[in-house]
Chain A
Amino acid sequence: MESMFTPYAWLIPILPLLAFVVLLVLGKTNKTFGISFSIAAIFASFVLSLLIFWERLADNASNYVWDGWNWLEIGSFQISLGFEINNLNAMMLVIVTVVSLLVHIYSVGYMHDDERKTTFFSYIALFTFSMLGLVIAENIVQLFIFWELVGVCSFLLVGFWYFKPEAKAAAKKAFIVTRVGDLGFFIAILLLFTYLPEPSLSFTYISQVFTTDLVNQIPDHIQFWIALLIFVGAIGKSGQFPLHTWLPDAMEGPTPISALIHAATMVAAGVYLVARTYDVFLAAPGALEAVAIIGAFTAIFAAIIGVTQNDIKRVLAYSTVSQLGYMMMALGFGTKLALAAAMFHLLTHAFFKALLFLGAGSVIHSLHEQDIQKMGGAGRYMKVTTITFAIGALALSGIFPLSGFWSKDAILVEALHYQVIFFLVGSLAALFTAFYMTRLFCLVFLGEHKGKHKPHESPISMTLPLVVLAVLAVVAGFVYTPFIPWLATWLTGEEVGDHLSWTVIFVSSGAALAGIILGWLFYGKKAISADKVAASIPWLYKLSFNKFYIDELYQVAVVKPLKVVSYLLDRFDEYVVDGAVRLTAGATVWLGGVASRLQNGQIQLYVLVTIFGFIIFVLALIGRRFW
């Protein structure tokens, strides 16, 4: 089939960029026009993404690559700015544009009273542009460029309320911590450039090298490091242990941002990166193992922290970290099906986590409160928010037949095929997930209302996206069920055999139900006192509540030493380096003083100096002979 829309895929990121420029130039003078324009632009991007996705549905649609524009050309080495459309990123385009569109609409209500709302809209337009650019990037340098740009947008939006010291600190942390990961990614690019047989960095070429005999030209340990360092980049961006600390803090940003950037799209870019360069990983089993282990550890680790947090958004943030760990774990299994499962979970997670964040935003908007211990009874006043939030929570917990059930199931089946331990860790994480979501739901929506503000339902611009996302959270799972594994077939291009596993379905559903029931007993029915349980295992509670002291560890191990070294070097520069300069200058002045004092007009002294000089001269002449 002739592709009609795919050649215009470059328009998808360009339209939001245009919106950014319009907002930047006209935003201050004509707020309504600017915002409407940007929504229209992202809507157009969304439609175009859908059309391209539809084109990709055709059988044997080949990848479309356009690299006609040279960004940089030095000798035989060139980097182009272009785009590539394949099944993987066609799906990502739809996810990003749909969530971005809904968040745009939602923000109209959420940011209604903020006087800098056009700035806000310009930032999310810029973010959408960067994220879409990342998705369709044709080569790895281009991806890195957009990778950094989404990082900056995240930084700007986390620090949107720049006057709040917490927002300032969080933005700074988000930028610097992810930059540590970015350095890994950067070095991976250096390695690729150095070791690839030809000086090309396009994904097509990288794939070609790593899937053919050409790969033998790269030493094994270098293959390992390339894959591992790419993964380090993904660790930073996707908030994986040990670089996860920035993501919960990033919740200082406005809530629509948390939904868009820190739940659905940017943080998933790490997963996408690994998927995009999967051929590199498949060539390096050691690195794949690292991906699986880090992912699994993050999944359970963050879920444990999520249980004790009291800020509604932070609970969701840890949940995001945990779910991203899930996806990473799946990628680490190293099969095409696992890749499909990870991307499937990315898809469903984008919808239900965005839904949960926007729902939380709706609650915060109404209550002006983020501490769940101070909330309660919102369910009675906010019907739409409550129902949609419940759907999101159930989807996240993995309850049949919502989308989360299917995607979690797909991952767990692969885990069972890979190693049982990963299956067990995954199931345990699912139990914790269901538990903290129930806790959250009970504390916020059930019980008695505690605050001063009387809750009210949010405006239509906010509830409409909730409803749309809730529908998606319900139905998105049916694209890939054990019975009709359509997505897997489409993504991997291979026939997928029967992978129905009743064990997995029973265990994962059991874990989810157990989590929900436990949560209900603790926080709904209050049959068991949470405080008492916490008091009985104080060390575990403390570890979880204090997030395993990772932040404190970084303070002691990295930040403080850097400050000390920096201070010492500053003193060194002042006293040793500049001291030497001053000493030289001082010595020169002193010598000049001595020399000028010699000229006191006394002939005797002059003669003495002359004789002295003559002796030195003679000695030098004699010495030269023997040298």
Chain B
Amino acid sequence: MFENFPILSVITFSPLIGILILAFINRENGKWLRIVGIATTFIPLILTGILYSQFNKASSASQFTEHFTWLQFPLNLDGLRVESLTLEFNYSLGVDGFSLPLLLLTAFIVSMAAFASVNIKTRWKTFYILFLLLEIGILGVFLAKDLLMFFIFFELTLVPMFFLIGIWGYQNKERAANRFLIYNGLGSAIMLIAFLIIITTAGLTQVGDTANYIYTGSIDTIMQNLNDPNSYANTNVENNPSHLSEAMQTTVFIMLLIAFGIKLPIFPFHTWMLRVHAEAPPAVVMIHSGILLKMGAYGLVRFGVLLFPDHALNWAFVLAVLGAINIIYGAINAFSQSDFKLILAYSSISHMGIILIGLAAFNDIGFQGLIIQLISHGLISALMFLLVGSFYERTQTTAIDKLGGLAKAVPFMSAALLFAGMALLGLPSLSGFVGELLAFMALFEKYPIVTLISTLGIILAAAYVLRGVMKITFGPLDEQLQQQVKQDARLIEVIPMVSLMAFIILLGVYPSIVTDITQATVVDFLEQILSNGG
């Protein structure tokens, strides 16, 4: 269907249509700005839906690929016996079984978040423009097949996020925005250095049999070179500047682990995201917690693990321990928070630990658990923050000590909150359980003790979720709140809530819907990791 049609580019840049239209709408015209803002997010949603229907599940290869050379810099040839040496960057997109579910998640969550942004009260025009730019960045991250492309899209998410937090956030928004930008900027810097090292070593390729050489950022080429024992990167001879020594590989792997570990976040690099959760507007946190954190996991797998499989395998135990620390540390901290948003923030840390657990197992069940957990947590945290936004709008606070008994005032929203809580604590039949089950099953044989410690998170999750949720909705309703909170969820709030709930149930009752897409790719990943790393 899409033989000569650049569907992936169209998906990635489709939000630009909305940005263009928004540019021509008067900034006072809130109604139309919102309509256009929300409607635009449906373009990538529908397109990714079509993409899904056309996707070949049996294939593990990148599909719908687009590739052309974008930038070429001829390099200095002094002292080199080659005809030409070029630094080349490609515009290269593709989608496989690992990126497709995340792509679908992105398009879906962004639409839901667009609904949630009806709670935004000022500067709609700027808001929606930044919001749609952010979507372009995320879509690009999951589709990029070139290191530089990936980096640019990754950075493209930082800038809109910075303003979205800094302008529309709560009390300490500026500080949170600064912290976000600096911390993530630091991560990006590390990532960039790592990428440059990779490009200048593993990226060196001979063009055919000629004496023409290029440095390329293409992920496929780099992977090929890293796995080829005769490539320049793997040839250890005198005067080969492109040799990527074992020690250097370790260094690069650690750099990638830190760069993406900040994003995921892995303890102890998590404090920035607490502030983002606490200060950013709910619609933005939906995207942040729902998708942006997943970029960390995506990058870690795509670059850290797939490019350096032997190091990843050597580090499996460290990854498992980091996962266990995330799970337990996050869960125990969540238990003592008095701000519901912070309970959720720490709970995110805890849930990202499960991803590391699934990864550390390095088998198909673990990988599937990882992917399902990514999707599931995206849906659940989006639902949670959607609800946080709706509750905050009515109560003006998220401090759980000031709330109570809201089930009487807003029964639908309270039921939805309880539902989200149940999903968060991993109730079977909802999506959260599947990821947990698979990740723990996968790791148990390899590291039983680490797994056993991690499973304590199951009880702790019940404790912190019920503490938070029941404090808000159960118990007697005090009078002041009763006066304040009159209206239950409006239609525009109900639509995204019910949609998210539906998908959480669907994934819990029929997880094969995700594993079907991913299985071929996962098997292929494992083959690469185990054959090249073993």
Contact = CB atoms under 8 A, between A and B. Distances in A.
A295 B18 CA distance: 67
Interface centre among A70, A73, A162, A180 (most CB of B within 10 A): A162
Interface string A556-575: 00000011011101100100
B515 A73 contact: yes
A172 B474 CA distance: 10
B117 interface: no
Interface stretch (B243-251, B374-382, B439-447): B439-447
Interface stretch (B127-135, B311-319, B426-434): B426-434
A581 B336 contact: no
A163 B414 CA distance: 13
Nearest to A178: B462
Interface in A156-195: 159, 162-163, 165, 167-168, 171-172, 175-176, 179-180, 182-183, 186-187, 189-191, 193-194
Given A74-B515, A148-B427, A573 B510 contact: no
A585 interface: yes
B332 A566 contact: yes
A615 interface: no
B405 interface: yes
A75 B523 contact: yes
Interface centre among A146, A159, A190 (most CB of B within 10 A): A190
Contact of A75 (B364, B428, B445): B364
B438 A580 contact: no
A175 B458 CA distance: 12
A183 B364 CA distance: 24
B428 A148 contact: yes
B407 A162 contact: yes
B476 A569 contact: no
Given A149-B428, A186-B458, A194-B445, A74 B368 contact: yes
Contacts of B408: 163
A578 B335 CA distance: 19
Interface string B398-411: 00000001011000
B421 to A, nearest CB: 11
A71 interface: yes
Contacts of B503: none
Given A162-B474, A565-B332, A580-B268, A74 B466 contact: no
B271 A163 contact: no
A325 to B, nearest CB: 24
Given A162-B407, A176-B466, A566-B336, A187 B452 contact: yes
Nearest to B523: A75
Interface in A98-148: 141, 144-148
B205 to A, nearest CB: 33
A577 B268 CA distance: 6
A175 B462 contact: yes
B271 A74 contact: no
A364 to B, nearest CB: 22
Contacts of A603: none
B437 interface: yes
A187 B474 contact: no
A190 B357 CA distance: 14
Given A175-B462, A190-B451, A162 B475 contact: yes
B476 A165 contact: yes
Nearest to A581: B271
Given A74-B519, A567-B336, A562 B463 contact: yes
B333 interface: yes
A421 B455 CA distance: 38
Contacts of B455: 183, 186-187, 190
A167 B473 CA distance: 13
Given A72-B511, A179-B458, A162 B452 contact: no
A585 B333 contact: no
Contacts, number: 126
Consensus secondary structure, chain A interface:
helix
Given A162-B475, A183-B458, A566 B364 contact: no
Interface in B431-487: 433-434, 437-438, 440-441, 444-445, 448, 451-452, 455-456, 458-459, 462-463, 466-467, 470, 473-477
B337 interface: yes
Contact of B329 (A159, A563, A569, A578): A569
A152 interface: yes
Given A176-B462, A190-B444, A168 B428 contact: no
Contact of A163 (B183, B459, B477, B519): B477
A73 B332 CA distance: 33
Contact of A72 (B270, B434, B475): B434
B437 A141 contact: yes
A77 interface: yes
B499 interface: no
A116 to B, nearest CB: 9
A193 B441 contact: yes
Interface residues of B, number: 54
Given A149-B428, A162-B407, A171 B515 contact: no
A71 B459 contact: no
Nearest to B268: A577
Nearest to A179: B462
Interface string A413-425: 0000000000000
B333 A566 contact: yes
A491 B192 CA distance: 68
B182 interface: yes
A71 B427 contact: no
A172 B368 CA distance: 32
Contacts of B434: 72
A534 to B, nearest CB: 35
Interface string A292-314: 00000000000000000000000
Nearest to A24: B415
Contacts of A171: 470, 474
B512 interface: yes
A159 B108 CA distance: 34
A573 B271 contact: yes
Contacts of B444: 190-191, 193-194
Contacts of B467: 172
Contacts of A585: 182
Interface string A538-571: 0000000000000000000000001101110110
A625 B475 CA distance: 74
Interface centre among B452, B459, B523 (most CB of A within 10 A): B459
B422 interface: yes
B220 to A, nearest CB: 25
B475 A570 contact: no
B365 interface: yes
A16 to B, nearest CB: 15
A74 B476 contact: no
B367 to A, nearest CB: 9
A335 B145 CA distance: 63
Interface in B322-336: 329, 332-333, 335-336
The 4 closest A-B pairs by CB, nearest first: A145-B428, A566-B336, A168-B474, A578-B271
Interface of A: 70-75, 77, 141, 144-149, 152, 159, 162-163, 165, 167-168, 171-172, 175-176, 179-180, 182-183, 186-187, 189-191, 193-194, 562-563, 565-567, 569-570, 573, 577-578, 580-581, 585
24 contacts: A71-B511, A72-B434, A73-B512, A145-B428, A159-B474, A162-B405, A165-B476, A168-B474, A172-B466, A172-B470, A175-B462, A179-B458, A180-B459, A186-B455, A190-B455, A193-B441, A194-B444, A194-B445, A562-B332, A569-B332, A569-B333, A573-B333, A580-B268, A581-B183
Interface of B: 182-183, 267-268, 270-272, 329, 332-333, 335-337, 364-365, 368, 405, 407-408, 422, 427-429, 433-434, 437-438, 440-441, 444-445, 448, 451-452, 455-456, 458-459, 462-463, 466-467, 470, 473-477, 510-512, 515, 519, 523
Given A148-B429, A175-B466, 9 more contacts: A144-B428, A145-B433, A162-B473, A162-B475, A163-B477, A168-B475, A189-B441, A562-B335, A573-B333
